[in-house]
Each structure stands twice: as structure tokens, then as C-alpha cells.
Chains A and B, each alone.
Chain A
């Protein structure tokens, strides 16, 4: 049961993030919701690689006579998570730049009053 706690945390994070994207009116809060969902998905990817009793997969840190790759935590999901974090930074910067431009144009950050394209 205790090994399921990361996955329960993932579901909670994604639900909180989805609530923020769907129900909030401020653009910055919607962007924060997407950032929370992304943290949840990254946590999911890292938690996939866990092996019970495993050591960190860094060669310079291992004690002598460890079985490779039997006793190590999987390193591939860590690489996937790193790529995903980098992509998340880029998307977040782009969304914030768009929010700044929208504020300069419409002088408000409320999504419902920025909506000109209706049908």
C-alpha cells in the first residue's frame, strides 16, 4: 500500500490542476494550473522507475560489488522527466509572455472579458 502513495499524489495533483484550469477566471491562475498538472505528470514518470531497495544509478557513488543493473533504480524515466521539465519551462515562459501582451492590450486579466472570438 505504501508504494501506491506517489500514484495517489499524482492523481490529486492532476485533479487540482484540472480544477484550476477549468474553473478559474484569472489567466495567471490558469497558467499555474497547467504547471501543477505538469508537476503531477513528472512525478508519475519518476515514480515509475522505482525498484525496492534500489540505489541511485550514479557510478561514482556506488559502494563496491553492487550488481549492475539489478540493484539500481531505473535511469530511463529520470531522463524522460528531465526532458519533460525542460519542455515545461519553455511552454510556461511562452504562456507568461502571452499573458503580459494580453494585459497590455486589454488592461485586464479576466478571461471572460478578453473573449472576442465567440462563435
Chain B
């Protein structure tokens, strides 16, 4: 019986939402404070790895199929490329949403130190979301597949 004790399972299940919320906060505020797509995605993936360690890879593999994570990863990647293609009339990766005061994320913040406006940055927060999705799916898939492949008995090749 190699299960972890009940204390670990309960506390991991309680901590997981808080870790996820913190990770999503880091992703969302990527254009104002340190953080962004990869950093926030790594935090959420650490929360998912906590679940894999606490509950065992068999229990998690029953709930999360590897093909779902693959789809999520492709969605993130395609979202990033499509966002880069939007401004192709000017240049590739051109920030079309920045500086137009009506649009989504369009406000121009004043120069110099300021309390930070979430509504600014143009395409950058959207790209942060796409990269964050991809990183969450990718790192969770890596941890889950390595855990499944190194099981003591069986284990997928």
C-alpha cells in the first residue's frame, strides 16, 4: 500500500484552488508586474503536480485523459499564432489593440510610475492567456506522463 496519508490528500485538495488562483493572477497581470504567460502557467502546473503526487498517478489519469491536454495545448498554440497574425497588414506581431481608447485592453497608460492600469497593453494580455494555457497543459502533461511511465508495475511505454 503505497498511498499517501489522509492528511496529505486533504490538505492538497484544499491548497489546489488557492495555488490556481494565484497562478491565474500572475498570468493576468503579466503586463504590469513581473510574471506573464510562462511564470503563471508554471505556478498552476505546480499545483497540478501537487495533486499528482498526493493522489497518485492512477487516480489522476482516470479523470484527466492525455488527449484532452493535447487539445488544450494545441488551442493555446493556435491562439498565439492567430493573435500574431491579426496585425499582418502592418507587420507580423503588430499590436493592433494598443492605443485605441475604445477597444479591449486599449488604454494608454501615462508614462512614469503609476498604480498600473489593467486595461492597457493591447494584445499582450491576450497573448499571455494563450501562452499560459499552453504552458499549463504542457507542463501538466509532462508531469502526468512521466509519473505514469515510471510506475512500479506496468506503466505505459
Known A68-B112, A82-B38, A104-B157; contact A58-B33, beta-carbon cutoff 8 A: yes
Which positions 134-150 of chain B face chain A at CB distance < 8 Å? 139, 142, 145-146, 149-150
Instruction: State which size class the interface on A falls in.
Output: 10 to 19
CA distance A62 to B112 in the complex (A): 8
A61 on the B face (CB < 8 A): yes
Which of A2-10, A17-25, A30-38, A92-100 is near enough to bind chain B? A92-100
B34 on the A face (CB < 8 A): yes
Determine if A96 and B116 form an interchain contact, defined as CB atoms under 8 angstroms apart.
no
CA distance A107 to B33 in the complex (A): 48
B113 on the A face (CB < 8 A): yes
Across-interface contacts of A113 in B (CB, < 8 A): none
Number of interface residues of B (CB under 8 A): 20
Across-interface contacts of A117 in B (CB, < 8 A): none
Known A86-B38, A93-B142; contact A60-B150, beta-carbon cutoff 8 A: no
> Looking across the interface, which residue of chain B has its beta carbon closest to that of A68?
B112
Determine if B34 and A100 form an interchain contact, defined as CB atoms under 8 angstroms apart.
no
Checking B33, B113, B115 against A63 with a beta-carbon cut-off of 8 angstroms, the contacting residue is: B113
In the assembled complex, the CB of B44 is this many whole angstroms from the nearest CB of chain A, namely: 14
Determine if B146 and A60 form an interchain contact, defined as CB atoms under 8 angstroms apart.
no
CA distance A12 to B16 in the complex (A): 38
B75 on the A face (CB < 8 A): no
CA distance A97 to B33 in the complex (A): 34
CA distance A93 to B145 in the complex (A): 11
> Looking across the interface, which residue of chain A has its beta carbon closest to that of B155?
A104
Across-interface contacts of B146 in A (CB, < 8 A): 93, 96-97, 100
Across-interface contacts of A62 in B (CB, < 8 A): 112-113
A52 on the B face (CB < 8 A): no
In the assembled complex, the CB of A70 is this many whole angstroms from the nearest CB of chain B, namely: 13
> Looking across the interface, which residue of chain A has its beta carbon closest to that of B36?
A82
In the assembled complex, the CB of A60 is this many whole angstroms from the nearest CB of chain B, namely: 4
Chain B contacts to A: CB under 8 angstroms: 32-34, 38-39, 42, 109, 111-116, 139, 142, 145-146, 149-150, 157
